[in-house]
Amino acid sequence: MKHGVTFLFLLLFSRIIPFPMQALSAQDEPVLAADSLGNLPFLNNFSATAWGQHRSNTLDHELGGILMRGGAIGRELIESALASQSGDMGAFGFSAGGVVKWSSNRLWKESDARICGSFQGRSLLDARWTPELFELAFMGNQGHLGRWDVLDGSQLRTTIWGTAAVGLEGRNNNRIEVGLAYRHLQLSGQIHTGYFRVNEDIDSLYASMRADASIDTRSGWGLALNGEWHFIREEAPFAFHVQIQNWGWVVVPGGGARYAVDTLLETSGFALEGPGLSLESLESAGFGEDFLQIDTAGVSLQRLPGRCDVAIEYPLGPRSGCDVTLQMGEWMPLPRVMLGYRRAFGKQWQAGIQGVVGGWGRLRPAAWVRWRVPNERALTLYLEDPWGWGSSSAFGRGLTLRFEGL
């Protein structure tokens, strides 16, 4: 009975959601051709950013790597992950992509505004699970007899999309853009309510689940809104920034597969072997397919995973300062908060350190360095959790590279 108890969830997620991890893993270390951009004279007002990052509050690099490439999973890795989860919802998030922003050198119709725009491509994955589901999937239900296991809220979803937008930019780089959004695919599955219990004598069982999943492989088209507002005043002792990204919707044509489970099993006295509802049938391949409903999705309106950033910068001296940033949305289970300190070193170098909490993980460090290159260009390298690049026990890593014209 070790793995039969999880037949509904495993059937729903492992069989019908084959996520393309190889395609996303290739984006973990983004590369930006900064030299070629710097040789274009008309790109004086632009920025190009590429990033790749992943984070979990439960899965460290060693366990995550085994799950991706295969291999033997030691019990100590599972127990360590459960200890890290400490009774909370487990979470894993992955984000990668690139964005280019530009604005014209000339003012638009003798005003203070310039024509601006951006184009970008993004991929995003969000996974969450209860401690009970994690134990059932990796350790079986041997230690769960007589206990109610709650599976509510466990989910997996991923999407890949891009936008091309155009708008107007005013003073202090304040801008508003409206653009065309293209969503390549979206896969999702969620357990809305789920309970499981086997009594101590293994002669009665209760299982209930209401879950659904969908696979939208047809391309969707729609509109997206981007905007930035910067409060920068010489007489003010601080600067305030607000940025919204990818606020919009796409229309997805019908044809994608939809799966649903809405069932209740309650029995007593089931046998160890034989036909019908028995321990043997629970562990047999294909059990649970009778409870799965499959149909075709119709045309739907789906919201893009937009994000809102709010930041405050405060100077501590002529060459140093601190900043606080709050990021919300983009499927993060918790808002991400970053508190940082920055300092300038000469005319060409700036560096900073940050403490980051929220998102898909707990407290971790971050560091960045900015080099002002000749010809009014700047290159910034940002590392989230630098220790994650050399430790198998870290819970994530992130790399962002930004090249801009000043």
pLDDT surpasses 80 at 43: no
Count how many Cα atoms sit within 13 Å of the Cα of residue 89 in the half-sphere of its side chain: 18
Is residue 89 within 8 A of residue 126, CB to CB? The reply is no
What does the DSSP 8-state code read for residue 273?
S
Under DSSP, the state recorded for 218 is: S
> What's the whole-number mean pLDDT along residues 222-231?
96
The stretch 339-363 carries a mean pLDDT of 95
Mean pLDDT value of segment 52-64: 94
CA angle 246, 247, 252 (to 5 degrees): 85
Quick one: average pLDDT of 215-242? 92
Distance set, CA 327 to CA 83, 128, 237 (Å):
28, 19, 23
Look at residue 17 in the predicted model and tell me its pLDDT: 35
- Please report where in the chains the tokens 């898909």 appear, as a residue: 360
| pLDDT tops 70 at residue 370 | yes
CA distance 108 to 117: 14
User: pLDDT tens for residues 153-186?
Assistant: 999 999 999 999 999 999 888 999 999 999 999 9
Report the predicted TM-score, pTM, of the whole model to 2 decimal places: 0.83
Cβ–Cβ < 8 Å for 252, 218: yes
Predicted local distance difference test score (pLDDT) of residue 285: 58
CA distance 163 to 219: 13
Q: Are 205 and 269 in contact (CB under 8 A)?
A: no
Task: Give pLDDT tens digits for 279-323.
Answer: 666 666 556 666 778 888 788 899 999 999 999 999 999 899 999
**Do 91 and 58 contact (CB within 8 A), yes or no?**
yes
Q: For a pLDDT cut of 90, what percent of the chain falls above it? A: 57
- Take residue 68 and report the two structure tokens written for it: 């991706």
